Structure 1
Amino acid sequence: MFERFSTDARNVVIDAQKEARALKSPQIGPEHLVLGLLSVPAEPVRGILADSGIALAKARVTVAEQGTALSDADADALGSIGIDLDAVRHSLEQTFGKGILDPEPPSGPRGWFGRKSGHIPFTKDAKKAIELSLREALARKDDHIGAEHVLLGVLRVADGTAREILEVQVGVDELRRRVHAALDRAA
């Protein structure tokens, strides 16, 4: 299937892995694919996302906030009963070593497309989004899978954080309509 991916589509997946790694996420989810789509300057995707008010910087913040185990409100609530999270972290690091609470860096064999950089596994929904990108391309009778097909796949599984990122000004159904309209114009 991956041989049918355009350069832009491959770069979306590679950038999704980079984004997940930068955010210290243990897995690549649909939200990371959205970050990858925002990172790769592929048209018509770039224009559709920009026109829909979806920006990379804000999306990164949203993903980072969702990936935090405890929110600031949680820390404040624990602080109100005398639990200082910074003190707990400091104590654990003194006992077990610096970074003990940080996620383990990914390890293992070569990652996507044979790049040796530590593979981060895809979530079930991210795998489904990539599979659906192939189905979207086949349904349109396109001979390749482009970034726009990846976006269509993500829009079909968008839930939680991915949906929050995507639904800034319009819903996912409207985004799907816009992508299909752009593909129809290009055909």
Structure 2
Amino acid sequence: MFERFSKSARFAVIDAQKEARDLKSERIDVEHVLLGVLTTADKPLADLLTAAGLTPDAVRTSIGQHKHGEPLGEEDAEALKSIGIDLEAVRESLGATFGDDALDRVEPEERRGLFGKRMGGHIPFRNSAKKTLELALREALRRGDDYIGSEHMLLGILRAPNAIARDAIEEHVTSAELRRQLEALLDRAA
């Protein structure tokens, strides 16, 4: 299937792995594929995405909020205190045991190979990310295109059942509007 990918789509898949690694994910998911597309998009697609507010930084922020939630506020601390949990005591205990930045660090377990040697290599794809690439192929076939481009990957992302990627997109543009714009862009390129 990858032989049908355009150069930018191939770079998007490669960059999805980098994004997953940078975000300390053990697997590549749909949101990493989205970031890969955003960071490697060619001029017409990049312009469309930027105009919609879909930038790599905006999506990374959205992903961070989705995965980590909003920080606990005073009301939350009071609610925990009412059931006997002192949030500051928990933070101090974690800091004393694991270091001051324990709550900020989220690192996947380091993979080790034979003789304890650290393994680099590829980060595996989650099934949802694999499904997104399959949906990109289906979008290209539906349109009669003989290649899979970054636009097709975005169309696949829009069809994928992934709340993190969908929410990151919908903060800036509706899925229906983005789909319409991507179809128009592909039609102009044909």
Q: Same fold (TM over 0.5)?
A: yes
Contact conserved, 1:45 with 1:151, CA < 8 A, in 2?
no
CA shift digits 1:17-66 (9 cap, x unpaired)? 11111111122211111111110132432122112121221211111222
Report the Cα distance in structure 2 between the residues aligned to 1:145 and 1:127, rounded to whole angstroms. Answer: 14
Report the Cα distance in structure 2 between the residues aligned to 1:41 and 1:147, rounded to whole angstroms. Answer: 7
Contact conserved, 1:31 with 1:161, CA < 8 A, in 2?
yes
Report the Cα distance in structure 2 between the residues aligned to 1:52 and 1:21, rounded to whole angstroms. Answer: 26
Partner of 1:60: helix, strand, or coil? helix
| Identity across the alignment (%) | 43
Contact conserved, 2:24 with 2:106, CA < 8 A, in 1?
no
In the alignment, does 2:121 pair up with 1:122?
no
Q: Which residue of structure 1 lines up, in the alignment, with residue 139 of structure 2?
A: 136
Structure 2: gaps spanning 5 or more residues: 114-118
Q: Which residue of structure 1 lines up, in the alignment, with residue 18 of structure 2?
A: 18
The equivalent position to 1:157 in structure 2, one of 149, 160, 166, is 160
Q: Which residue of structure 1 lines up, in the alignment, with residue 45 of structure 2?
A: 45
Report the Cα distance in structure 2 between the residues aligned to 1:126 and 1:83, rounded to whole angstroms. Answer: 36
Contact conserved, 1:93 with 1:100, CA < 8 A, in 2?
no
Instruction: Give runs of aligned pairs for residues 1-187 of structure 1, distance below 5 A.
Output: 1-68=1-68, 71-73=70-72, 77=76, 80=81, 81-84=85-88, 85-93=90-98, 102-105=107-110, 117-157=120-160, 159-187=162-190
Contact conserved, 1:92 with 1:100, CA < 8 A, in 2?
no
Report the Cα distance in structure 1 between the residues aligned to 2:105 and 2:33, rounded to whole angstroms. Answer: 28
Partner of 2:94: helix, strand, or coil? helix
Report the Cα distance in structure 1 between the residues aligned to 2:63 and 2:24, rounded to whole angstroms. Answer: 11
**TM-score normalised by structure 2 residue count:** 0.79
75-84 vs 159-168, which moves further: 75-84
Partner of 1:73: helix, strand, or coil? coil
One-letter code aligned to 1:19: E
Contact conserved, 1:48 with 1:175, CA < 8 A, in 2?
no
